[in-house]
Structure 1
Amino acid sequence: MARTFHPNLRDILTDGNIVAIVAKQRLRAADGPGTPIFPPTYLGSDDRPTYCISLLDDGGNVCVVDSVQSQANRIEAAFMDEPYRSLVRRVQVTAQLPNAETRTLDMLQLGHRLADAAVTFSTLAEQAKAAMHSFGDGPDEIARLSPMSLLFGMWESRGEKRQTRIPRALSSTITARNVRVLRRMATFAGSFWSKDLGLEGKRSSEGLDPVPTGEALGGIMAEGEILRSATLNLVALRQNCKITTAVPVSPAAWYMFALALVAITVPSESYLRQGCLLVGDGDIEIRVVARSGKDENLTLDHQNILGIARDAARDFGVSTLEPIEAVFQTDRLEPSPTDKGKQLPGGKDKTARGK
């Protein structure tokens, strides 16, 4: 068994021989072992829904229960509420909808983070572009607008030839080993049947007569372990935050490392989707992994890490940053052929270009 590792956290961040912090926890269905759970469905090669199950050479298989992207979204969502909300600047984009209503999304809710179209076509566009183009000099400006872009990655894939790519430093997945796919069938039965009411013919479309739904995916049974695994790639984080042994760790870099430690230890979401409620089946095991492959146990108390993150956010000046309320500007979009002549929310023509 690996011995417990008790270094100074700054040493972990700056020691080039340490390449990762890995956290793992076994999970189980909330209603007990042997219970079917429902992983996400994807479009299969035959254009039918399927689960993402990979066959292994030993005859076993691995099923994706929650993908890297979904886990990132769930971790980011945790920062929408206290005690985590104050660790990240509030940056929001509001769009006017055709029905005169508005929709507001936080930067933590945007799938492509700082490079999301919601930002690109908003009043935040120029500030975001300047922050991305300053990435070569340091992480500070991106950390002030969208720190999760430095943790979960970002790609400025549209627009100018000059593009910013930030590699993912924190990844997490939930997988199940050696699963068997189940099937389900169902029939809808109305409260009253047409024949009972003296009506002619079937009235299924009106909710009166039985409607069989046919065969469908019915979840999986995991004969092996269900495992949540999170990896903080310290090599990528050091690159993203411009951390080198020759230069002291900047407030921005320390802030990002503290956020990463919060993210890797934050209690995981249990309710993944309908039919998939997972709970812990053991303690979270955290290890530091060296370049040589040697790993050692690491004790990280979430509340202690949260305190470190609060101090790091304060030192970086997060509390002094004004919230940003950006506005999505539809007239920044190039008109498509089907849009010509249509009216934008507020009465603007889509063929007109605003400032």
Structure 2
Amino acid sequence: MIFTPFMLGSLPLANRFVMAPMTRARTDQPGDRPSELMVKYYGQRAGAGLIITEGAPISTVARGYSLTPGIYTQAQIDGWKRVTDEVHAKGGKIFIQLWHVGRRSHASIAGEQPVSPSALKVPDRVYGPLPQGGFGMIETGEPRAMTQEDIDATIADFTQAAVNAMEAGFDGVELHGAHGYLLEQFLCRSSNQRSDCYGGGQENRLRFLLEVIKAVTSAIGAERTALRLSPYVGGSGGLDPELPELTLKLVAALAPLGLAYLHLSEGGGNGTPDRFREQLRERYPRPIMVAGNYTLESGQAMLNRGLADLIAFGQPFITNPDLVRRCREGLALTPVDDAAQATFYGGGAEGYTDYPIA
């Protein structure tokens, strides 16, 4: 089943393999523009039924990792257009992940003080400029609480980024609502201690995310809009005990909208109870994607049980550009070893576009 075609709404996918979003930090500077190396990298992996790009910041203040490709300037749009043209020329489909990191940033990366629902910092490290030069992991800065003006501007930034993505030729967008970034920061009590209509009870904490989704779907269509969530994967503030319950309320509200898919990031996969997956399926009849160290066998098992429609693979796609073919033909996979991990962030072609194709 994992090798069979799948209709994602009206978008035909060649198979049910998805390349998960992974930060690689290989942009052209200045301006954080998608590079020619990125064109080659994504084109090499077009055998996936669907590619989801690395997170693309929707504005300067949205960025929390240096050298990541934005989607808010014309130069960035033009760079992404070369990527989508290459993937489409090779028969692939591609969504861009729209990203706002919120408090998981530093002024040296974002160009200003990071923002969050509340002015609450937690210990966290992100990829940014080092005092001695170059880039590496640095401590995040103190965020400031978002004003209503900030909230309105951020919703507008998400919407404009989605419109920009359509101009760049993407098949759709995935909103990054997982892993302790801004959208999830509004959901969690540990990061959202507001006293206005965006804080307090669960309905209020859902408000910002729902407003973003409504704005984006109004601009580009629900069938081109997807959402990633991680209710059982703790972000920088740890695991929020209310998040699974809140997620079920959220997906029930999303079900009638007709989104392209719901993407459940499970980390290692073992922490997500089967009962939650069943409840998710009961409340959400649209396509469900799962990611979390899946293998060919465990991914196929999820499809067989009807708890997912698409399986996202992360690191195996880094070291195996032709992952789908290798799995189909039973060929050995290039492992993700220490040498591969050393080239995850930044650099050039080494560990990026130089992996062999069988």
- Shorter-chain TM-score bucket reads under 0.3
Higher helix share: 2
- RCO higher in structure (CA 8 A, sep ≥6): 1
Q: What is the TM-score of this pair, normalised by structure 1?
A: 0.26
Higher strand share: 1
Structure exhibiting the larger radius of gyration computed from Cα positions: 1
